[in-house]
């Protein structure tokens, strides 16, 4: 059963459509509010996703708007969504790396920089942003080995999780 707008129980952080829908970012940049399935497709996710109607803020579109008239793009993560647990709420940042076959080719400093810039952009919402991010990868024969290798490299810097799109769905969207 998808989490939706419910008051989350227990210790698990779950998707909150209300947090995402009520975002100041969404109000100023309405085109960013998109279905996660569409964002995943745009980011080159291979195969079908379990997402149907769940929405997120496609921050990559905000990145381009913020860069208008500037020489350098200030990179931010691909998307974010609201999560809640008991009376607490925050945003979970997501960086999609679907087009990378070998996680050893991903620059973890670049991901940390994107998370840092994204946290700055999201501050104006007044809702905390989780320290770290989910890094999405495609399923492969060696995905578990690569996830472990990459997690060890990012773990000292915050709450980073390496997941497939299915992992993301079952971790944050199913109660």
| Digit-coded pLDDT (tens) for 12-44 | 999 999 999 999 889 888 999 999 999 999 999
Asked whether the CA dihedral 94, 65, 27, 34 is positive or negative, the reply is: negative
Q: Quote the mean pLDDT of the chain.
A: 85
Query: Based on the number of CB atoms within 10 Å of its own CB, is 152 exposed (0-12), middle (13-18) or buried (19 or more)?
Result: exposed
Distance, C-alpha 98 to centroid of its chain: 13
Is there a domain that residue 53 lies in? yes
Residue 9 lies in a domain: no
| Gap between the Cα atoms of 79 and 60, Å rounded | 7
Would residue 64 count as lying in a domain? Answer: yes
What's the domain range around 104? Answer: 14-172
- Number of structural domains the chain divides into: 1
Q: Give the CA dihedral 30, 169, 110, 148, nearest 10 degrees.
A: 180
Stretch 148-168: mean pLDDT, rounded? Answer: 86
Question: What pLDDT does residue 69 have?
Answer: 59
* Residue 152 pLDDT greater than 60, yes or no: yes
pLDDT tens digits, one per residue of 86-117: 989 999 999 998 887 777 777 888 888 999 88
Is residue 3 situated within a structural domain? Answer: no
Residue 5 lies in a domain: no
Q: 82 falls in which pLDDT band (50, 70, 90)?
A: very high
The answer to whether residue 8 sits within a structural domain is no
- The predicted structure's pLDDT at residue 170: 96
Predicted local confidence at residue 9, as pLDDT? 47
- Domain assignment present for residue 6? The answer is no
Distance, CA of 90 to CA of 172 (rounded, Å):
12
Does the pTM of the predicted model rise above 0.85?
yes
Is 39 a member of any domain? yes
Tell me what pLDDT residue 73 has: 67
């Amino acid at each position: 059963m998808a989490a939706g707008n419910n008051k989350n129980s227990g210790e698990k952080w779950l998707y909150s459509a209300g947090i995402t829908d009520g975002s100041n970012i969404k109000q100023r940049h309405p085109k960013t509010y998109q279905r996660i399935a569409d964002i995943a497709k745009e980011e080159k996710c291979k195969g079908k996703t379990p997402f149907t109607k769940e929405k997120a803020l496609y921050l990559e579109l905000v990145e381009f708007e913020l860069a208008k008239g500037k020489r350098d793009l200030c990179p931010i993560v691909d998307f974010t969504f609201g999560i809640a647990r008991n009376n607490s709420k925050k945003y979970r940042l997501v960086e999609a790396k679907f087009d990378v076959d070998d996680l050893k080719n991903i620059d973890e400093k670049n991901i940390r920089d994107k998370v840092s810039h994204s946290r700055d952009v999201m501050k104006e919402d007044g809702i905390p942003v989780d320290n770290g991010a989910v890094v999405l990868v495609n399923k492969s024969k060696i995905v578990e080995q690569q996830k472990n290798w990459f997690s060890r490299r990012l773990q000292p810097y915050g709450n980073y999780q390496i997941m497939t799109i299915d992992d993301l769905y079952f971790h944050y969207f199913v109660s």
